[in-house]
């Protein structure tokens, strides 16, 4: 084979090889583009769920979809769009969870009484309180609507008692969300049925409970001095006590 023929064959082989390399590069580029397009489409599907949850103010689901979108498709157009607002959505979700927690602290009841219906809303103190050295126990705050005795608000102890002075009239100190303390008159009924003390201005106390997250009530006790019970009142549902609002 002469040298001219050899050179021609070599040139043809190189041309074929280069054509094959170019085809493979094009195939890889096309595959990468198709994968990127598929990921953008998948990201858009998650983003639609995120947008729908935000529109309906379902903050927990919005947070779940938003975090998933940024974790799985961080470079997508959808991720870049929702990224700046995701922290606010997380904060809203946390606030919603906290609200549900506070709502669950209240216990509502409806029972027949004196030919009518007695309704009550009750909550236990955030932390138990030691009123007499026998150990810390919960203090209960109750709002009650009785067909005979009408509306009232009172504290209930599970041990010891309130100060003897309260059998006539005494004062409790009420602090709402850290604001200045308000003094409210109170009285301990002369009965052994329950260790309870009424706070006379039930309307004012209800208004405070409805508009605040934390209510602190300091009260005098039998063993001397005062004790403080803290109630997380922010979840009080006014619809459970018709007419109180």
pLDDT digits (tens, 9 = 90+) for 202-212: 999 999 999 99
Burial of 173 (0-12, 13-18, 19+ CB in 10 A): middle
- Proportion of the chain above pLDDT 70, given as a percent: 88
CB atoms within 10 A of CB 86: 18
Between 239 and 31, residue with greater pLDDT: 239
List, for residues 174-219, the tens digit of each pLDDT value. Answer: 999 999 999 999 999 988 777 999 999 999 999 999 999 999 999 9
Q: Are residues 11 and 46 in the same domain?
A: yes
Q: Are residues 18 and 63 in the same domain?
A: yes
Q: What is the DSSP letter of 84?
A: G
Cβ–Cβ < 8 Å for 136, 130:
yes
Cβ–Cβ < 8 Å for 139, 155:
yes
CB atoms within 10 A of CB 28: 10
Region of residue 68 (phi > 0: left; psi between -120 and 50: alpha; otherwise: beta): alpha
Between 27 and 153, residue with greater pLDDT: 153
Question: Rounded to whole angstroms, what are the CA distances from 101 to 95, 96, 106, 144, 175?
Answer: 10, 9, 10, 22, 21
- pLDDT score of 236 more than 70: yes
Find the distance separating the first CA and the last CA of the chain, reported in whole Å: 108
Q: Which residue has the tokens 């932390």?
A: 127
Per-residue pLDDT, averaged over 98-123, amounts to 95
Residue 245 resides in a domain: no
pTM for this model (two decimals): 0.79
Provide the domain limits for residue 39: 3-100
Residue 45 in tokens: 């599907």
Position 22 scores a pLDDT of 59
Residue 222 resides in a domain: yes
Q: Which pLDDT band holds residue 37 (cuts at 50, 70, 90)?
A: confident
Sheet hosting strand 226-232, strand order edge to edge: 106-113, 116-124, 140-146, 150-156, 196-199, 182-187, 170-176, 214-220, 226-232
Q: Are residues 178 and 64 in the same domain?
A: no
72, 100, 128 - which closes a domain: 100
Helix axes 3-55, 59-72, angle to 10 degrees: 170
Q: Which pLDDT band holds residue 38 (cuts at 50, 70, 90)?
A: confident
Q: Are residues 115 and 220 in the same domain?
A: yes
Q: Are residues 165 and 95 in the same domain?
A: no
Residue 36 in tokens: 């990127």
Cβ–Cβ < 8 Å for 163, 170:
yes
The tally of domains found in the chain comes to 2
């Amino acid at each position: 084979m002469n040298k001219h023929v050899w050179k021609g064959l070599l040139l043809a082989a190189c041309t074929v090889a280069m054509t094959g390399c170019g085809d493979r590069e094009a195939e890889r580029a096309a595959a990468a583009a198709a994968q990127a397009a598929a990921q953008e489409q998948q990201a858009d599907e998650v983003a639609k769920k995120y947008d729908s949850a935000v529109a309906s103010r379902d903050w927990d689901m919005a947070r779940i979809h938003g975090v998933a979108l940024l974790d799985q498709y961080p470079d997508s157009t959808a991720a870049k769009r929702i990224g700046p607002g995701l922290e606010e959505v997380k904060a809203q979700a946390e606030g919603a969870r906290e609200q549900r927690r506070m709502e669950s602290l209240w216990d509502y009841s409806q029972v027949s009484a004196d030919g009518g219906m007695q309704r009550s809303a009750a909550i236990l103190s955030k932390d138990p309180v030691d009123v007499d050295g026998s150990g810390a126990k919960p203090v209960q705050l109750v709002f009650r609507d009785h067909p005979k005795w009408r509306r009232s608000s009172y504290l209930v102890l599970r041990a010891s008692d309130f100060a003897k002075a309260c059998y006539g009239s005494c004062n409790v100190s009420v602090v709402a969300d850290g604001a200045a303390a308000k003094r409210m008159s109170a009285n301990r009924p002369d009965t052994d049925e329950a260790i309870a003390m009424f706070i006379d201005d039930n309307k004012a106390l209800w208004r405070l409970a409805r508009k605040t997250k934390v209510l602190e009530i300091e009260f005098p006790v039998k063993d001397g001095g005062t004790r403080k019970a803290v109630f997380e009142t922010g979840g009080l549902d006014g619809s459970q006590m018709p007419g109180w609002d």
